[in-house]
Amino acid sequence: MEKTITYGGAGMLIGKVIDSFLFHCQYEKNLNLKTIKAYRTDLIQFAAYMESSLQKRDVNVLQKEDIKNYLQEISPLKPKTVKRKIASLKAMFNFMEYENDYFMNPFRRIRVRFKEPYTLPTVMNMNEIKRMIRIVYQEKEGMVNMERYAFRAAVRNVAVVELLFATGVRVSELCNLRPEDVDLRNGKIKVLGKGSKERVIQICQAEALSALREYYRLFSPAIKNRFFFFINRLGSPLSPQSVRLMVRGYSQKAGISKPVTPHTFRHTFATLLLEEDVDIKYIQHLLGHSSISTTQIYTHVNSVKQKKILATKHPRRKMCFGGEE
């Protein structure tokens, strides 16, 4: 990967600029590979737009109108995707501005105020999460031949679902767990979250710990050989996509009409803890959020809890009129 940007008569060719920026992200800033992959995807798309629609390859000649036209080009995409693509482009231009005093950052001459629509996360209520967990256990208990791989897979699935609900970890964090990160004796896991930040989460539910121990007993030889805690039929690390498909299948069997993903367990974990009056700062730490504002999306109140609060806590119930005082 090229690190040095060519200046002078040759200008600043978009391909070399992208290479230099990604080199900086990977080897100087030590960013997560997933973040670098997203940067690469977004910036290659912008480079293609430059060459096909603007007939330009030199970043030095970009004007604010070019950026505005590009923003219009990507505007039909999902708001979250547009926001990410804008952030990727800004990050590269800021890097170029830092590296070259003569570069005129086109974003300095336009105001981009993009507000992502606020949407409440999908969560399961207590009845739905019970049905979901019951289905997972029923599948395992319905296996008559414990020597078949199907039984072992069912045991693993129980462990995965229990851990998702017990800890609220992201699916990527779960799939990246290594044997040394899972302390089954003391009941805790060490998670590597976003920004390579580590956090330790206690597993305080006996059922979850029991499920993890049963899984480890069955899979321990393969786990030690592959260096990942959760593995698939081939002995390779269990992929996030496999977990998504598994969770979707169980939710359908449980008759849950709303879309359920591994992240739904994370939302449900946080929401139900809040409903039990757990301080949001503790939930922020458990989820691995660097900012409390990220955690505050879970402070919405569902209709059942809302009805209970207004029926029992509203001051109007203490007011009496018509001679009743």
Does the annotation mark 194 as catalytic? yes
Q: Is 170 a catalytic residue?
A: yes
Q: Which of 39, 70, 215, 298 is catalytic?
A: 298
Burial bucket for residue 170 (CB in 10 Å: 0-12, 13-18, 19+): buried
Could you say which of 152, 156, 266, 267 is catalytic? 266
Enclosing H/E stretch for 149: helix 149-167
Q: Identify which of 131, 214, 205, 127 has the alpha carbon closest to the alpha carbon of residue 165.
A: 205
Active site residue 298: yes
Distance (Å, whole) CA 315 – CA 297: 27
CB distance 5 to 17 below 8 Å: yes
Q: Answer whether 15's CB lies under 8 Å from 47's CB.
A: yes
Whether 99 and 5 have beta carbons less than 8 Å apart is answered as yes
Catalytic residue among 178, 194, 199, 248: 194
305 is catalytic: no
Q: Which of 64, 263, 285, 305 is catalytic?
A: 263
Q: Which two tokens stand for residue 3?
A: 């690190």
From the candidates 85, 140, 152, 289, give the one annotated as an active-site residue: 289
Question: Which residue of the set 24, 140, 170, 226 is catalytic?
Answer: 170
Determine contact, residues 265/168, Cβ cutoff 8 Å. Answer: yes
Catalytic residues: 170, 194, 263, 266, 289, 298
